[in-house]
């Protein structure tokens, strides 16, 4: 095997793989998927063994951080065996971090086992602490179940980061409530601008620029920009009065493409080198065509060679440019 690291055409080393293990979810969040989704036939999905082969192939080529996403990854039958399989790469030192993004609904059941596999932190999507509004935005979700899961993760020793999508007219009034709750619980908090993906709702009506959110934080707190990066797209600031670290993911008001070290693998084996572009490479076909690792490696390297410089998301001029028609649940969060 060629041990040269994965480098894209713009000299960015690819160190971070986000892998979706299912397009299914037990919630129906309004900005993520339609209420009555048509999910992929199970035969189209990679098996857990195939996901192991693919992810191991990337790790062999220099990927050091693996984030498991969905859909909701913990609703995939047998998913713990995949985390156990990836845990061997943590033990060997080939993989530095194994994490997941979850809606929290299944954490009460899985938190202890995840910690046992070497997971040290989880991202939990949580946009509101109001039970009625939570039921509205998730359609099928119930807030107490998620809060129980977050508490279980904390008890298992997992570091919890709360991801909140900034939604105009929905959770603006909860800005300081979310900040205060995370401070009291010891959770990190990241706000995300709503992305123009899918076909469910008018994104312009939902769009709350984080420049405005930051200005509101500055009315109450002293803000210090932090230089640290965690391998993802967030930029961080510290609230001096509480010492909290707040992340801001701004694909629209600040494009973070210049330092992008990430690629996304879907549950069907499509590799998207950029979240905001439609171009993808099918890795399922070479994976199933041959057991030879070199065949898969060649396919991965060819896919990385197509990674674009950046995306085109734009809400200026009161229209959505660069909109993606696929649902976020297909690509992985």
Question: pLDDT at residue 324 above 80?
Answer: no
Please calculate the CA angle 159-235-252 and round it to the nearest 5 degrees: 120
Counting runs of H as helices and runs of E as strands, what totals does the chain give? 11, 12
Query: What percent of the chain is modeled with pLDDT above 90?
Result: 71
Alpha-carbon span 61 to 55, nearest angstrom: 10
> Would you say 106 and 149 are in contact if contact means Cβ atoms under 8 Å apart?
yes
Give the model confidence (pLDDT) of 93-114 as tens digits. Answer: 999 999 999 999 999 999 999 9
Dihedral sign, CA of 72, 73, 74, 78?
A: positive
Residues 185-235: tens digit of each pLDDT: 999 999 998 865 444 445 567 889 999 999 999 999 999 999 887 656 789
Is the pTM for the entire model greater than 0.85? yes
Residues 6+ apart with CB under 8 A from 310: 255, 257, 258, 260, 274, 276
Residue 316 confidence class, pLDDT cut points 50, 70, 90: very low
Res 20 pLDDT > 60: yes
Exposed, middle or buried, 135 (CB in 10 Å: 0-12/13-18/19+)?
middle
Domains of the chain: 16-331 (3.20.20.70)
Contacts of 253 (CB under 8 A, 6+ apart): 193, 209, 210, 211
CA distance 266 to 23: 8
In this structure, are strands 121-125 and 223-226 parallel, antiparallel, or unpaired? unpaired
């Amino acid at each position: 095997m060629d041990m040269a690291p994965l480098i894209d055409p713009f000299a960015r080393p690819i160190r971070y793989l986000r892998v979706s293990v299912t397009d299914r979810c037990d919630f129906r969040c309004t900005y993520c998927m339609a209420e009555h989704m048509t999910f992929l036939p199970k035969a189209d999905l990679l098996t857990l063994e195939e996901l192991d082969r693919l992810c191991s192939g990337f790790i062999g080529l220099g990927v050091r951080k693996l984030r498991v996403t969905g859909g909701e990854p913990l609703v995939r039958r047998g998913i713990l065996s995949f985390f156990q399989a990836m845990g061997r790469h943590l033990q060997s030192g080939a993989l530095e971090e194994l994490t997941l993004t979850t809606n929290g609904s299944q954490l009460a059941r899985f938190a202890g086992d995840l910690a046992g596999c070497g997971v040290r932190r989880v991202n939990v999507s949580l946009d509101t602490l109001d039970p009625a509004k939570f039921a509205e935005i998730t359609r099928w979700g119930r807030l107490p179940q998620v809060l129980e899961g977050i508490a279980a993760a904390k008890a298992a020793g997992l570091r919890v980061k709360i991801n909140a999508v900034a939604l105009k007219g929905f959770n603006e009034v909860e800005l300081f409530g979310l900040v205060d709750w995370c401070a009291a619980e010891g959770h990190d908090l990241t706000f995300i601008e709503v992305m123009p993906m899918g076909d469910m709702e008018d994104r312009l009506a939902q769009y709350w620029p984080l420049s405005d959110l930051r200005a509101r934080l500055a009315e109450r707190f002293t803000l210090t920009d932090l230089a640290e990066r965690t391998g993802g797209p967030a930029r961080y600031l510290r609230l001096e009065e509480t010492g909290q670290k707040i992340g801001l993911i701004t694909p629209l008001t600040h494009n973070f493409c210049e330092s992008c070290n990430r690629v996304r693998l879907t549950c069907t084996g499509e590799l998207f080198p950029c979240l905001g572009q439609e171009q993808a490479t099918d890795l399922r076909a070479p994976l199933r065509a041959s057991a030879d690792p070199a065949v898969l490696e060649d396919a991965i390297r060819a896919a990385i060679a197509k990674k674009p410089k950046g995306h085109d998301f734009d809400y200026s001029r009161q229209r959505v440019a660069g909109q993606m028609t696929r649902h976020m649940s297909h690509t992985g969060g």
